[in-house]
Amino acid sequence: MHEVNNKKTGNPYRYIYRKQACGFWWCALPYVDEKGRKRQFRKCFRDNRYSDQHAALQAALAWRDAQIRALRRQGTLGAAPKLRRVSVNELSKLKPQDNSFGIIGITVTRRDKPRGINVSVTAQRGQKKWFSMRRHGAFEAFRLGVRQRCEWIQVPVPSDDELRRRFQHWLKSNFRFLEEYDIAS
């Protein structure tokens, strides 16, 4: 699937996801219910039902567009996704147990077998990926994690300067882990 931007949504494939191994597209469309809670409409479009992958994608896009029109008429279309984060200037106010990068969905996990530290990235439901600090280096693993999250939720990637400042903040209180696991910062 190639990236094509348009002015209205920023991405014509917003809310459409591909599960290649199982051969289907799925759509998860957020909305706000009558009590103000965030919900999702979900529908699956299997390749074998629609004859091939491209026909299934077209069906998913048509279904999504029809649902968006209906939600707009009702006024219940949820807000567009965004990279939720604490401003760089407020990072020092975070509690030690909080996500000290200040970006929702980006955390650091340590493991004993094999020994190492990963940057863990989550988005939507069921999407998770890890980037090894040993393989990529500490900052690069963090940067790759943020880029992956931004790609999943289809928002612009923060500047490298902002990412560097966030990483330096995390490094102040976690440098001992990099030394313990013998990982270059």
**171 and 112 belong to one structural domain:** yes
**70 and 26 belong to one structural domain:** yes
**33 and 101 belong to one structural domain:** no
Instruction: Name the residue with higher pLDDT: 55 or 123.
Output: 55
Backbone conformation region of residue 153, classed left if phi is above 0, alpha if psi is from -120 to 50, else beta? alpha
Task: Evaluate whether residue 11 is within a structural domain.
Answer: no
Q: Give the global pTM.
A: 0.58
Of 74, 98, 114, the last residue of a domain is: 74
Task: Evaluate whether residue 153 is within a structural domain.
Answer: yes
**144 and 173 belong to one structural domain:** yes
**100 and 160 belong to one structural domain:** yes
**64 and 101 belong to one structural domain:** no
Q: What is the mean pLDDT of the chain?
A: 80
37 touches 22 (CB < 8 A): no
- The tens digit of pLDDT for each residue in 136-182 reads 988 999 999 999 988 887 788 899 999 999 888 888 878 888 888 77
pLDDT at 43 over 80: yes
Give the number of domains in the chain: 2
Q: Domain limits at 62?
A: 16-74
pLDDT at 9 over 50: no
pLDDT at 93 over 90: no
Sheet strands side by side (includes 127-132):
106-111, 116-123, 127-132
Instruction: Name the residue with higher pLDDT: 8 or 65.
Output: 65
Tokens of 164: 């560097």
